[in-house]
Structure 1
Amino acid sequence: MTSLALLAVLLAAGWYFYRQWRYTRFEALHHPGHPQYFGAALCSVYLFGISAGLHALALRHSTYSLYLGKLQGMLPLQISDKQSAEGLSLHLAITLWCLLLGAALPILLNVPLVRTRSLAQLIASRHGAIDAIESLAIKCEEDGTLVALTLDNGKVYVGLLDEFTGPRVGKEWVGMTPVASGYRDDKGKLVFTTYYDIKLPDDATMEIFQVIVSLKQIISAQAFDLELYKQFQQPEAHTQAVADRKELAPQRSSLVVDNTRHAFYLGLPILLLLSPYVGLKSTIGGLSMVIAAGLSCLAAEKLRRRQVKPGADVNSTPLETDEVHFV
């Protein structure tokens, strides 16, 4: 009975890890029931693997065994005929390590995703956690353009969508800070009535214009360049506007870069899993694995999507999407 209770605690730690790590969080929230149980079980196996290695490393120090024995004596654990005292002690130690890692590892593994928004977007897109409008918003931010939303009442908003913050389920609303707004007439022609480029008081920001729109109201969404639109209102500027736009077209990041960033990020949990076992043979080797995990994480963060103007000097510093703010 004691072993079953400890096993339940281990599975609970895996379930918590599964729901808190942003890499698996969307799957956990979006697929309840049996898929979630399976995912929690896999995470429990991962936690068990690290815990077993750390326990083996800790046994090298007599103090660890001493305190573990005292803790076992304080808990109401029953030794059965089918399980020895040593086996129960091992089970208790693994469970305690899993509880500790289940709480700490999600925080550690989420740090690069919180610190580098483009990496979080990449991971989320791999799991289908970004819908069509969020995908459009990310593309527009990379290209330096705005987003135009046309509502079912004919109203049109052009501006910046709220930034993507993480996987969500049940998305029903979208926030936007408009730059301009108007409507579409009976023929579908866009007519602007309001521009929000006014001078604001010192204690005010553009957020006072923010609008929240129901996704059910949106009938179309598209990338929109306000300056190019103004140029197209002048017939003689059509040709020059198109030419200028081609020169400003951003260079799309390759699939190879995205796959490399994804692999580097997965290197963090994988190398952390292997580090205690390498440490059993060589302390320096174990520390090297931990350092390699950190470097892999940094590489995933630094290898960002870039924007370079065609024809520009390839040696010039590119724009990195995590450091660009469009206003």
Structure 2
Amino acid sequence: MGSAVFALVFLSSGYLLLRRWSITRPHALSWDGHALYFSVVVASIVLAVEADIFRELVEQSGMVGAQFNAKISGVLSAFATENKLNALGVTAAWSVPIAVTSFILLNAPIRFSPFLRVQLYLRLSCLGELEEFLLITSARNLPVMLTLASKKVYVGFSLEANASRGKRDWVRIEPLISGYRDNNQEFVFTTDYSWLHTNGSQESLRREDFDIIVPASDIASAHAFDLNIYVQQFLNGGGEIAGASSLSTASAPAEADAVSGTRAVRVERAAGQPTTKCEKIYWSFCGALAGLAPIAYFSWWLVSGFWILMTALLAYASVIDSEGTS
């Protein structure tokens, strides 16, 4: 009975860490069945090792630490009377605060550096295609054009969803303009919200009151939008899309132009972005956090020095990479 209860505590701690760490939370919400179970088991094993080492450190810290563990052991005596099983219970009890402390520390650099958060989300495929697109445009402060299945069109700034939420079923935008698609799929402008973004509007109005929330399932298409570029590059004097022939040429295989003799060649995109300094140091930070208890078992001075060094390097890299350098 006692061993089963303590095993559930370990599994709960592992699940808590996966659900609350910003990097693993999207995966934990989308996984089901064996994928979620084995991931929780792996996280629980890591926490169990950390908790067991920490329990011994507390007992070796002196009279206060030994008495503290004895109090926990006394509470758990209702589930386990054997010494070994009781020690397992104390370890399980320590795994819960260790899990809470771990996800708080792991999330701190991600909240501190928006650039780091975007890079990690994209590299680890934490989000779906639409969520990734909205995250990038939000980070670059670019408006997006959302066309719904009803042909209603909204243009505005996507507001990044709270990281503590689950799957993004709704999209919130700060509107700039709106309209609809006519029978020829041309965009027809109807409402201007640009006055919301002027300095004077902030005195009497709250932009939050005009936010528009649309269901993600109703979005037929989405793309970044710049009104000036849209007018200059895609609309001619009659309001028709200009350059359609050039777009079709770019999307087709390169062929020789019989008139000018030139070739339309599509420039390939890079397969992936290089790993930034901020990302490398963040993963070193994660490794240092995981090795905190084992190293502390041998030397607290070594832990303190290494922790201060890693924190300073992480802050330095976050400041550098917040400007987009790698």
Does TM, normalized by the shorter one, top 0.5?
Answer: yes
Give the secondary structure class of the aligned counterpart of 1:287. Answer: helix
Give 2:204's aligned residue: 203
TM-score normalised by length of structure 2: 0.75
TM-score normalised by length of structure 1: 0.75
What is the CA–CA distance in structure 2 between the aligned matches of 1:207 and 1:297, rounded to whole Å? 34
Residue 282 to residue 92, structure 1, CA distance change in 2 (3 Å): same
Whether 2:150 is the aligned partner of 1:148: answer no
Give the secondary structure class of the aligned counterpart of 1:281. Answer: coil
Give how far 1:101 is off. 0.8
Give 1:315's aligned residue: none
Give how far 1:171 is off. 3.3
Q: Select the residue among 239, 247, 255 that pairs with 2:273.
A: 255
Opposite residue 279 of structure 1, the aligned amino acid is A
Q: Does the Cα contact within 8 Å between 1:175 and 1:211 map onto a contact in 2?
A: yes
Q: How many residues are aligned here?
A: 288
Give how far 1:299 is off. 4.8
> Which sections of structure 1, spanning at least 5 residues, go unmatched?
239-251, 308-317, 321-327
What is the CA–CA distance in structure 2 between the aligned matches of 1:201 and 1:67, rounded to whole Å? 55
Residue 204 to residue 284, structure 1, CA distance change in 2 (3 Å): same
Q: Select the residue among 311, 321, 326 that pairs with 1:294.
A: 311
What is the CA–CA distance in structure 1 between the aligned matches of 2:170 and 2:73, rounded to whole Å? 51
Residue 91 to residue 226, structure 1, CA distance change in 2 (3 Å): same
Opposite residue 192 of structure 1, the aligned amino acid is F
Whether 2:157 is the aligned partner of 1:160: answer yes
Residue 56 to residue 200, structure 1, CA distance change in 2 (3 Å): same
> Which sections of structure 2, spanning at least 5 residues, go unmatched?
243-269
Give how far 1:142 is off. 4.9
Give 2:21's aligned residue: 21
Give how far 1:111 is off. 1.9
Question: Alignment RMSD, CA only?
Answer: 3.1
Residue 219 to residue 77, structure 1, CA distance change in 2 (3 Å): closer
Give the secondary structure class of the aligned counterpart of 1:59. Answer: helix
Runs of at least 4 residues off by over 6 Å: none
Q: Select the residue among 263, 285, 289 that pairs with 1:272.
A: 289
Give 1:12's aligned residue: 12
Give how far 1:269 is off. 2.9
Opposite residue 227 of structure 1, the aligned amino acid is N
Residues 73-112 of structure 1 mapped to structure 2, 5 A cutoff: 73-74=74-75, 75-80=77-82, 85=83, 87-112=84-109
What is the CA–CA distance in structure 1 between the aligned matches of 2:79 and 2:149, rounded to whole Å? 64
Give the secondary structure class of the aligned counterpart of 2:194. Answer: coil
Q: Does the Cα contact within 8 Å between 2:116 and 2:322 map onto a contact in 1?
A: no
What is the CA–CA distance in structure 2 between the aligned matches of 1:184 and 1:71, rounded to whole Å? 66
What is the CA–CA distance in structure 2 between the aligned matches of 1:229 and 1:46, rounded to whole Å? 52
Q: Does the Cα contact within 8 Å between 2:131 and 2:168 map onto a contact in 1?
A: no
Residue 229 to residue 51, structure 1, CA distance change in 2 (3 Å): same
Give the secondary structure class of the aligned counterpart of 1:187. Answer: coil
Opposite residue 56 of structure 1, the aligned amino acid is E
Opposite residue 155 of structure 2, the aligned amino acid is V
Whether 2:300 is the aligned partner of 1:283: answer yes
Give the secondary structure class of the aligned counterpart of 1:271. Answer: helix
Opposite residue 2 of structure 1, the aligned amino acid is G
Residue 17 to residue 201, structure 1, CA distance change in 2 (3 Å): closer
Q: Does the Cα contact within 8 Å between 1:59 and 1:65 map onto a contact in 2?
A: yes
What is the CA–CA distance in structure 1 between the aligned matches of 2:140 and 2:70, rounded to whole Å? 61
Residue 207 to residue 288, structure 1, CA distance change in 2 (3 Å): same
What is the CA–CA distance in structure 2 between the aligned matches of 1:16 and 1:142, rounded to whole Å? 28
Residues 47-62 of structure 1 mapped to structure 2, 5 A cutoff: 47-62=47-62
What is the CA–CA distance in structure 2 between the aligned matches of 1:303 and 1:45, rounded to whole Å? 36
Give how far 1:14 is off. 1.7
Please give the per-residue CA displacement for 1:88-134, whole angstroms capped at 9, x wherever unaligned.
45323322221221232222222222333333333333443322233
What is the CA–CA distance in structure 1 between the aligned matches of 2:48 and 2:319, rounded to whole Å? 31
Give how far 1:65 is off. 2.0
Give 2:44's aligned residue: 44
Q: Does the Cα contact within 8 Å between 2:138 and 2:159 map onto a contact in 1?
A: no
Give how far 1:143 is off. 4.7
Give 2:119's aligned residue: 122
